[in-house]
Amino acid sequence: MPSNNPAFRGLGGTAGGSGQQYAGWGAAPQQQYGQYGAPTADPYAAPSPYSATTTRYMTMDDVVTKTGLSFLVTVLAAAVTWAMPGQAAWGFALPAVLVAFVLGLVIAFKQIANPVATLAYGALYGVALGAISEAFNEVYPGIVMQALIGTFGVFAGMLVVYKTGAIRVTPKFTRWLLAAMIGVFALIVVNLIASFFSADGDALNLRDGGPIAILFSLVVIGVAAFSLLLDFDMADEAIRRGAPAKFAWYIAFGLLVTVIWLYLEILRLLSYFQDN
């Protein structure tokens, strides 16, 4: 059955970018036949159906465990960064964001399912989140806790929406959501480029805290929230397809990216409301 999730296109037997073929992903053993159609292999040499298999398939427990560990590493890195004296955290924030961005692209495009890659991404972005959160909280005391509560609420709400089937992840839904994501990122890039030629640094008024900025943030939060449905569907589909257990690290990476994006946008939106 064709996949609704673009992460599974072209996966016809590989996972984690390792190039290794997994039988559980649809690759069937090839039976060879002799001159008169009889199988050439000795039927008594075939492995017993009761023998233990060397491949452990992914379960929901794997997804929960790997995702929880990834978030824990991110939170710990953010806490350590926040605890740094003075403005020392900002000396690490920008390099961490740049390295995490490149690493995230590599993981996403190569579909790397590896604990080192996922945890490194979480730790790097944790450093950046610690510095950013500290800066926001100094200007708007208590805003970080509000953003965390909001992020958790959206995550839990979208999980309920997915589990109840209120919104189904169909090919049409996936296409519309991907188009919305491309549109959002295109606007962000255009606004960034145009800001270099604008006196106030925000040519399209997408980040100035005004009505347009608030509306844009709400749209971005909506897109990020619906992106969680794709992540949940990816986990379910990987389990149905018999993905290897280590593929849970790629699921954890996808959830980490979406939740970080969601948290930062909620943080920004809350700052708009406190300025007005």
No. of helices (H) and no. of strands (E), the chain: 7, 0
Q: What size, in residues, is the chain?
A: 276
What are the pLDDT digits (tens) for 193-242?
887 776 666 667 787 888 898 999 999 999 999 999 999 999 999 999 99
- Burial pattern 102-111, b for ≥16 Cβ within 10 A else e, equals ebbeebeeeb
Whether residue 133 contacts residue 78, with contact meaning beta carbons closer than 8 Å, is answered with: yes
Comparing 15 with 81, which gets the higher pLDDT? 81
Within 13 Å, how many C-alpha atoms sit on residue 272's CB side? 20
CA distance 95 to 127: 10
User: Over 80: is that where the pLDDT of 274 sits?
Assistant: yes
Comparing 27 with 216, which gets the higher pLDDT? 216
Whether residue 118 contacts residue 107, with contact meaning beta carbons closer than 8 Å, is answered with: yes
3 state SS of 33 = strand
What are the pLDDT digits (tens) for 55-72?
788 999 999 999 999 999
User: Over 70: is that where the pLDDT of 251 sits?
Assistant: yes
Q: Which two tokens stand for residue 198?
A: 């604008």
**Domain extents in the chain:** 56-275
Residue 244 region, left (φ>0) first, then alpha (ψ -120 to 50), else beta?
beta
pTM (2 d.p.): 0.79
